[in-house]
């Protein structure tokens, strides 16, 4: 409705609505965002799908009681995808219960690029069922049923869902805090009506979901992620603003499947996984060559940037983890190892008389991160302000007790290695150290083929350690560093860690996916907890600022990203086998052997293939393994001192004399640093 100010009852409280451009309008209390949109323009009211009231996403129909800042959300806004996917999940659940009565609906959140819903059903869904569900969803969307928000009494809601046989929904409500409003959203009426427990918000009608959606797959999932609970059936879907966006995403999925590092890793004989070592990788010689090349490259970069490399223990007493704060906050993600200590030998760390064969038990833990151990290295000996900054780097092997269902090839492991480093510096050195790190990170990413980097500066959260003056200095230091390096960045208020602000870096790969890899985090907390200090110019003790930083993050994960980004065709310097010398006839065996030996002597990773197989078979096999170059030699090449070069993916072959072929490959195979 359009609010006519001449007809407003003056006994109703007036409220002031502030629009994004700063304009203010006065309306009666209880006016909705849709009312405001209609008052501004009837055309605007037709295209808005939700509102942000004082920054919080809300239904258009929700009454606004007090003065508020209002932003009207259209379908092209970032928030629109969240709403489309949320509403699409509700439509899917309605379709499932329409087609399969007796199926219980449990939970159905948004996820990256889509949504899922878990259902309690005796039989799994078939591919034919999925097609029928999609068809029913389109019927519901076409009807354009309104999403209507209702607030119910707690006991009424529990009784309603129990009466319907929805035990899971009743359990969710029973677990909610006493006094919390029970919100229900209804879509449609009568036989076509349906409702679900939901906090919202929603778009105005089901029609606003549109046709840019598709159901993708069915999987199993435990209720509330607990393997002791019932197994449910999960349906995954994706939803976008329109069919064009959907088509682009489905194409990306197809490309991602072709590039899957697990598939390519098997084809290229790089690594494998097996049940006896869940979440850990078995590197094969070819794959470990990639690993070593990557580690060696980063090590050279760190040495050049003034880092000192260290190595710290895998097993550390839980007392240190308690002191650092990780035991209380991260205990469930740590692998804990009991350690039996002979009675009378104190803590078991030195030789001494054993007074009894009885033992007491203490707890050790495999380190999930390296930072507390690095503080221990810093704490050895007295440090002066003249010693700072101190940059300690480690290729630290870490263990985290990830859930079995979360493990995913190289991308999510229980055992992994970080290119980890910690910088101990003064407050005045924060900006210079941040600048140095940003430049180092940019150079590394550029060398590895990633020039599209998104940067976020995460600022102080509501709950934090350290005074505001220190936070002001830290945030401004990071801000100045980003400006100085020319990196574009967004600021995320409230998203910093409790111990300090941070910069996060996301790289975009060849098919448009983003990967969170690099990070720079300021920490005021850990130096305090672990009593790190240096002697300042004034002769007194001071706390250093600790910068946690990583560029690749996990080496294993980054190698997985590289494999998928390059679809297995890695840069030549990283490729395990850079060239294969393959013979056409056994008359060229001696020539081929000598050529391969020359290549190896020149520093090229070269293999020899003198098997009694046809050359087309050899070329096909090595191309499948993503070998960049195949040097083909036969009787003519042996006689003329030449080689026929076949490049991976190329159709033609180039003939060169041996010396030129070797020199060219040596130049191309050099690491970027």
Given 85, 86, 502, 622, the catalytic residue: 502
pLDDT value of position 112: 86
What is the per-residue DSSP string for 82-116?
Answer: HHHHHHHHHHHHHHHHHHSTTPEE----EETTEEE
| Residue for token pair 């990633």 | 450
pLDDT tens profile 627-664: 999 999 999 999 999 999 999 988 888 999 999 999 99
Measure the CA–CA gap between 425 and 18, rounded to whole angstroms: 45
Give Cβ neighbours of residue 456 (< 8 Å, ≥ 6 apart). 489, 490, 491, 492, 495, 503, 504, 506
Per-residue pLDDT of 294-323, as tens digits, reads 999 999 999 999 999 999 999 999 999 999
Query: Which segments of the chain belong to CATH 3.30.980.10?
Result: 79-255
pLDDT of residue 3: 42
pLDDT tens-digit series, residues 77-91: 989 999 999 999 999
How many whole angstroms separate alpha carbon 98 and alpha carbon 106?
15
Q: Report the greatest alpha carbon distance in the chain.
A: 105
Query: Rounded to an integer, what distance in angstroms lies between the CA atom of residue 603 and that of residue 613?
Result: 28
Q: What's the pLDDT at 354? A: 47
Q: Is 371 a catalytic residue?
A: yes
Specify the CATH superfamily of domain 285-309+368-565: Bira Bifunctional Protein; Domain 2 (3.30.930.10)
3-state secondary structure of 376: helix
Architecture in CATH of 5-74: Roll (3.10)
CATH architecture group of domain 579-668: 3-Layer(aba) Sandwich (3.40)
Q: Do residues 355 and 343 make contact, with C-beta atoms less than 8 angstroms apart? A: yes
Report the pLDDT value the prediction gives residue 5, as an integer from 0 to 100: 41
CA distance 204 to 2: 18
Whether residue 546 is predicted with pLDDT greater than 80 in this model: the reply is yes
Q: What distance in Å separates the CA atoms of residue 496 and residue 518, rounded to the nearest whole number? A: 15
Distance CA 346, CA 341 (A): 8
Mark whether 422 is an active-site residue: yes
Please tell me the predicted confidence (pLDDT) of residue 383.
Answer: 96
Looking only at the bridges linking them, the beta strands covering 534-535 and 213-222 are unpaired
**DSSP code for 177:** P
- pLDDT (0 to 100) of residue 344: 57
To the query of whether residue 557 is one of the catalytic residues in this protein, the response is: no
35, 39, 129, 420: which is the annotated catalytic residue?
Answer: 420
| Percent helix / strand / coil, the chain, rounded to 5 | 40, 30, 35
pLDDT at 351 over 60: no
DSSP 8-state class, residue 336: E
Is-contact 81 107, C-beta < 8 A? no
* pLDDT given for residue 6 in this prediction: 40
Cα 449-453-456 angle, rounded to 5 deg? 155
- For 333, the token pair is 């993600």
Q: CA–CA distance from 71 to each of 54, 55, 79, 386, 672 (Å)?
A: 8, 8, 12, 52, 48
pLDDT for 124-183, tens place per residue?
899 899 999 999 999 999 999 999 999 999 999 999 999 999 999 999 999 988 878 899
Sign (positive or negative) of CA dihedral 521, 524, 529, 535 = positive
pLDDT tens digits, residue range 516-530? Answer: 999 999 998 899 999
DSSP classification of residue 205: B
Measured CA to CA in angstroms, residue 492 lies from 103, 130, 435 at distances of: 41, 39, 20
Cβ-contact 581, 637 below 8 angstroms: no
Q: CB 389: neighbour CB atoms within 10 A? A: 17
CA pair distance 19, 296, nearest whole angstrom: 55
pLDDT of residue 463: 86
What secondary structure does DSSP assign to 621-639, as a single string?
A: HHHHTT-SEEEEE-HHHHH
Please give the mean pLDDT across all residues of the chain: 92
Q: Where in the chain is the domain with CATH 3.10.20.30?
A: 5-74
* Contact (Cβ atoms closer than 8 angstroms) between residue 515 and residue 559: no
State the catalytic residue, choosing from 208, 261, 548, 549. 548
398 catalytic per annotation: no
Average pLDDT over residues 603-609: 97
Of 262, 422, 626, 646, the catalytic one is 422
With the CA atoms of 301, 306, 310 and 316 taken in that order, what torsion angle do they form, in degrees rounded to the nearest 10? -100
Which residues does 382 contact at the CB level (< 8 Å), separation at least 6? 535
More confident residue, 359 or 16: 16
Residue with tokens 């009666």: 28
pTM for this prediction: 0.84
Residue 8 pLDDT greater than 50, yes or no? no
Inform me whether the pLDDT recorded for 393 exceeds 70: yes
What percentage of the chain has pLDDT greater than the value 90? 83
What's the CATH number of domain 79-255, 3.30.980.10, 3.40.30.10, 3.30.70.890, 3.40.50.880? 3.30.980.10
pLDDT band at 73 (very low <50, low <70, confident <90, very high): very high
Q: Is the previous residue joined to 201 through a cis bond, with omega within 30 degrees of 0? A: yes
The catalytic residue among 90, 400, 513, 626 is: 400
3-state SS, residue 583: strand
Point out the catalytic residue in the list 371, 398, 425, 438.
371
Residue 231: CA atoms inside 13 Å, Cβ hemisphere, count?
A: 6
Return all residues near 229 (Cβ < 8 A) that are at least 6 apart: 222, 223
CB 309 within 8 A of CB 393: yes
pLDDT digits (tens, 9 = 90+) for 113-134: 999 999 999 888 998 999 999 9
Residue 251 pLDDT exceeds 60: yes
pLDDT at 434 over 50: yes
CA distance 72 to 51: 5
Q: What is the mean pLDDT of residues 270-280?
A: 96
Q: Residues 225-239: pLDDT tens digits?
A: 888 899 999 999 999
Is the distance from CB of 501 to CB of 475 less than 8 angstroms? yes
Examine the pLDDT at 343 and tell me if it is beyond 80: no
Q: What is the DSSP string of 399-412?
A: E----GGG-BTTTB
Distances (CA, A) of 47 to 51, 56, 70, 295, 537: 12, 19, 16, 52, 63
What DSSP designation does 215 have? E
The confidence score (pLDDT) of residue 346 equals 54
Question: Is 399 part of the annotated catalytic residue set?
Answer: no
pLDDT for the residue numbered 329: 84
Return the pLDDT at 489: 94
pLDDT for 9 equals 46
Q: What is the pLDDT of residue 24?
A: 94
pLDDT (average), residues 562-569: 97
Give the residue range(s) of CATH 3.40.50.800 domains in the chain.
Answer: 579-668
Domain span(s) for CATH 3.30.930.10 in the chain: 285-309+368-565
Percent of the chain with pLDDT over 70: 95
Q: Which residues contact 617 (CB under 8 A, 6 or more apart)?
A: none
**Mean predicted confidence (pLDDT) in 19-46:** 94
Q: Check if 418 is active-site.
A: yes
Q: Where are the beta strands (DSSP E) in 404-474?
A: 415-425, 453-458
Give the number of other CB atoms < 10 A from CB of residue 381.
Answer: 7
The answer to whether residue 329 is catalytic is no
The token duo for 486 is 């020319």
8 Å CB contact between 423 and 478: no
Among 294, 317, 330, residue whose Cα is nearest residue 448 = 294
Q: How confident is the model at residue 347 (pLDDT cuts 50, 70, 90)?
A: low
| Mean pLDDT for the stretch of residues 376-403 | 97
357 band by pLDDT with thresholds 50, 70 and 90: low
* pLDDT tier, 10 (very low <50, low <70, confident <90, very high otherwise): very low
pLDDT at 226: 83
Q: Which of 94, 418, 429, 521 is catalytic?
A: 418
Structure confidence by residue, pLDDT tens digits, 492-505 = 999 998 888 999 99
Q: Which residues pair with 453 in a beta bridge?
A: 507
Does residue 301 contact residue 672 with C-beta atoms inside 8 Å? no
Ranking 12-16, 87-91, 92-96 by mean pLDDT, the lowest is 12-16
Helices (H) and strands (E) in the chain, counts: 20, 35
How many of the other CB atoms lie within 10 Å of CB of 453? 19
Contact 323, 334 (CB under 8 A): no
pLDDT at 474 over 90: no
Please give the pLDDT value at position 499: 85
């Amino acid at each position: 409705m359009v609010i006519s100010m001449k007809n407003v009852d003056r006994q109703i409280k007036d409220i002031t609505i502030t629009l994004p451009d700063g304009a203010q309008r006065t309306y009666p209390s209880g006016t909705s965002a849709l009312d405001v949109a209609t008052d501004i323009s009837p055309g605007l009211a037709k295209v808005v799908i939700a509102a942000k009231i004082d920054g919080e996403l809300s239904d258009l129909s929700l009454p606004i009681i007090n003065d508020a800042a209002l932003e009207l959300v259209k379908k092209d806004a970032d928030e629109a995808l969240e709403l489309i996917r949320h509403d699409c999940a509700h439509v899917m659940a309605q379709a499932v219960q329409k087609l399969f009565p007796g199926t219980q609906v449990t939970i159905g959140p948004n996820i990256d690029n889509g949504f899922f819903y878990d259902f309690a059903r005796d039989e799994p869904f078939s591919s034919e069922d999925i097609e029928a569900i999609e068809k029913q969803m389109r019927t519901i969307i076409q009807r354009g049923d309104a999403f209507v928000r209702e607030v119910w009494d707690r006991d009424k809601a529990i009784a309603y869902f129990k009466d319907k046989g929805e035990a899971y929904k009743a359990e969710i409500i029973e677990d909610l805090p006493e006094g919390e409003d029970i919100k229900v959203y209804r879509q449609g009426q009568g036989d076509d009506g349906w409702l679900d427990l939901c906090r919202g918000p929603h778009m105005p009608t089901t029609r606003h979901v549109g046709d840019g959606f598709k159901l993708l797959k069915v999987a199993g999932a435990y209720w509330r992620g607990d393997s002791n609970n019932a197994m449910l059936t999960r349906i995954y879907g994706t939803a976008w603003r329109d069919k064009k966006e959907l088509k682009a995403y489905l194409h990306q999925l197809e490309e991602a499947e072709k590039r899957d590092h697990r598939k390519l890793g098997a084809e290229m004989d790089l690594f494998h996984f097996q049940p006896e070592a869940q979440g850990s990788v078995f590197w094969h010689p070819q794959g470990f060559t990639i690993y070593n090349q990557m580690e060696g490259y980063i090590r050279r970069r760190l040495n050049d940037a003034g880092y000192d490399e260290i190595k710290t223990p895998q097993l550390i007493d839980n007392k240190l983890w308690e002191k650092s704060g990780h035991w209380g906050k991260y205990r469930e993600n740590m692998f804990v190892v009991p350690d039996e200590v002979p009675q009378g030998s104190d803590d078991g760390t030195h030789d001494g008389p054993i007074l009894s064969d009885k033992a007491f038990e203490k707890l050790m833990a495999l380190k999930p991160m390296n930072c507390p151990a690095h503080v221990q290295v810093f704490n050895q000996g007295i440090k002066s302000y003249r010693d700072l900054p101190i940059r300690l780097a480690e290729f630290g092997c870490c263990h985290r007790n990830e859930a079995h269902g979360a493990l995913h090839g190289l991308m999510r492991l229980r055992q992994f290695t970080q290119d980890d480093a910690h910088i101990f510096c003064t407050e005045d050195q924060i900006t210079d150290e941040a600048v140095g790190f940003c430049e180092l990170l940019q150079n590394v990413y550029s060398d590895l083929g990633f020039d599209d980097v998104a940067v976020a500066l995460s600022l102080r959260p509501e709950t934090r350690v350290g005074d505001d003056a220190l936070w002001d200095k830290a945030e401004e230091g990071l801000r100045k560093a980003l400006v100085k390096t020319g990196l574009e960045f967004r600021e995320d208020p409230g998203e910093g860690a409790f111990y300090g602000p941070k910069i996060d870096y996301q790289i975009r790969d060849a098919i448009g996916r983003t990967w969170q890899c690099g990070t720079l985090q300021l920490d005021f907390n850990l130096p305090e907890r672990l009593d790190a200090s240096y002697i300042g110019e004034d002769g007194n003790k001071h706390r250093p600022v600790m910068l946690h930083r990583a560029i690749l993050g996990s080496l294993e994960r980054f190698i997985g990203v590289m494999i998928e980004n390059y679809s297995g065709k890695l840069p030549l310097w990283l490729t395990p086998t850079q060239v294969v010398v393959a013979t056409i006839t056994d008359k060229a065996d001696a020539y081929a052997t000598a050529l391969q030996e020359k290549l190896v002597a020149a520093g090229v990773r070269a293999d020899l293939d003198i098997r009694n197989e046809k050359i087309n078979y050899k070329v096909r096999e090595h191309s499948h393994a993503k070998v960049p170059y195949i040097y083909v030699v036969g009787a003519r090449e042996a006689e003329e001192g030449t080689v026929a070069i076949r490049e991976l993916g190329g159709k033609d072959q180039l003939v060169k004399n041996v010396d030129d072929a070797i020199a060219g490959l040596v130049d191309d195979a050099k690491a970027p640093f």
